[in-house]
Amino acid sequence: MYRPLFDQLNWGRFVRVMQTFAGPEFRGVLIALFGLLLVFLLLINGLNVVNSYVGRDFMTAIEHRSMSEFIHHALIYIGVLGATTVIAVLYRYTEERLGLMWREQLTRRLVAEYINDRTYYSLKVNGDIKNPDERIADDVRSFTVTTLSFALMTLNGLLTVAAFSGVMWSISPLLFMVAVVYAAGGTYMAVFLGRPLVGLNSAQLDKEANFRSDLIYVRENAEPVALSRREGRLRRRLSRGIDEWAENLQKIIRVNRNLGFFSTGYNYLALLLPALVVAPLFINGQAEFGIITQSSMAFAQLVGAFSLIVTQFQSIASFAAVVSRLDVLAEAIELTHAADVPTIEVVEDHGRIAFERVTLISPEDGRPLLKELTVSVPRGTRLLILGPNKAAKAALFRATAGIWDTGSGKIIRPGFDHIRFLPERPYLYPGTLRELLVRSGDEHDIPDERILGVLEALHLEGVLQRAGGLDTEQDWARILSLDEEQLLAFTRLVLAEPQFAFLDRVCTALSAEQIQRIQKMLSDHSITYVAIGDPNDLLEHYDAVLEISVDGGWHWRWLEGEQPGPDPELSGGATSLA
């Protein structure tokens, strides 16, 4: 069952979205432009009233067959229409300019909230919000443009009622009452017939966004899809997406059909009603012929002002869906920012990585992945993490990076300026090779010679050549192999020179020779690395091994060389080494 269009829920959502997104960043400019729009509206309505009287006199001059009066009123008519045209164009330009400024400001604000504190990651992990990208890009545009448009139409309607009520009453009090009753009845019928559009439009936005998401998936994974020969399954998924949005759109079309029968007849009848009421006055000699023209114009203006919901119902229904989606997004962002302090405490401290009674819990079933991990990794200690518990190793990697929040204990590590996290599949953001390898803001602090030297040391001269140099934008997923992606990630790591690097199976596509070369480079640059690996990894470039068992237990052992702690081996429940 669909809710009424103007229920408390929708109004509450609109108020919340306005409070969330109507920021003070450009309040002065907004007030100035809105004030200018108000002046334009007053001028337009004043000119429309003048136009109704000029048009009446113009038609009366035709009725009297007076050429001099005809020419005189025609010139006045043309002048009034010209002035109205200029004001209307300036009004439309100012409205669009204000809408653009508002949309730009709100989009920047929402993008900042989406990116800050890794909100994008929390929304994706929780899965509460579908297609946040579409809500930020498309729904913000619809919200700003439509809110401004409806606000101005409502204000214009009020001014029109104020301006033409007197004109209508002076022509015929009966015609004025007919206009009010006609508009009220039309509004009720439009809401009754069209209220299902709110829910249907909201569903349509989601279904079409899901369909576009599937198409984007095919584009971004074209090569693995082609190699796996799974086009049939993808075709069925896309076909199912088409069925869903087409079926929902069919329902929208049926509602629009019923609403169209009413609204079209409503608009046609509005052309005839003033003549039905006023024509007898002219026939009986109680009014001039121009009164009929004036009454038609005044009736159209007044009914149009009273019938805003009838004439704009489809837009209002779509707008209600947009408001609902933005309200859900704003609420999800607010809940993410206002979330309780994570149960896993992350403390920044230079010089070491340490875990104090760290227990990691699976968010799906609540089982412990890692139990009471208590170890310390001083700077210079190269640690290899092994074991069959892949979920625990992945959780430890994410928890150390601060993006895993189910569990307990304390993690001590350097700040993000002094530690880097490299996932198995490197993140290669779009841009130039220089932007890919050097952190934002440091592009001019690291000389080309140093960048080229690291690329050469890792035998990446071919990548530099294919990239067209350091300052040419490229589609990296298209021109790089997986091993080159991993080598570029290490290039970026070496150039950053952090104290620590936490590596999650980042050498899966590299040869043993390449791995040894990278490990030597990291040691030469005093970068202490903690690596998640597998039993086939060579141990000669590590100082210690942390093994995590399937049940979440753990075992620490030192390899050859001096051990910084009193105990040569530790296991689950032991005390910290430092």
State the DSSP string of 84-145: HHHHHHHHHHHHHHHHHHHHHHHHHHHHHHHHGGGHHHHHHHHT-SS-HHHIIIIIHHHHHH
Identify residue 521 by its one-letter amino acid code: M
Taken in order of first residue, the domains within the chain and their CATH numbers are 8-337 (1.20.1560.10), 344-428+480-571 (3.40.50.300)
pLDDT in tens, 159-168: 777 766 777 7
Output the pLDDT for position 568: 43
Residue 313 — very low, low, confident or very high, per pLDDT cuts 50/70/90?
A: low
Residue 577 — very low, low, confident or very high, per pLDDT cuts 50/70/90?
A: very low
Residue 410 — very low, low, confident or very high, per pLDDT cuts 50/70/90?
A: very high
Output the pLDDT for position 576: 32
Share of the chain above pLDDT 90, in %: 16
- Reading the block at residue 489, the tokens are 């990630």
Read off the pLDDT of each residue in 494-522 and give the average, rounded to a whole number. Answer: 87
Read off the pLDDT of each residue in 197-219 and give the average, rounded to a whole number. Answer: 81
Read off the pLDDT of each residue in 381-385 and give the average, rounded to a whole number. Answer: 93
pLDDT for residue 113 is more than 50: yes
- Residues sharing a CB contact under 8 Å with residue 164, sequence separation 6 or more, in sequence order: 48, 49, 52, 298, 301, 302, 305
pLDDT for residue 9 is more than 60: no
pLDDT for residue 356 is more than 90: yes
Mean pLDDT, the chain, whole residue set: 79
pLDDT in tens, 37-62: 888 888 887 887 787 777 777 777 77
Read off the pLDDT of each residue in 532-540 and give the average, rounded to a whole number. Answer: 81
pLDDT in tens, 445-474: 788 899 999 999 998 989 888 888 888 888
Residue 375 — very low, low, confident or very high, per pLDDT cuts 50/70/90?
A: very high
Of 61-75, 203-217, 221-235, the one with minimum mean pLDDT is 221-235
Residue 385 — very low, low, confident or very high, per pLDDT cuts 50/70/90?
A: very high
Distances (CA, A) of 38 to 49, 154, 312, 432: 17, 12, 21, 48
Residue 360 — very low, low, confident or very high, per pLDDT cuts 50/70/90?
A: very high
Output the pLDDT for position 502: 94
Intra-chain end-to-end CA distance of the chain, in Å:
63
Phi-psi region for residue 552, left (φ > 0), alpha (ψ -120 to 50) or beta? left
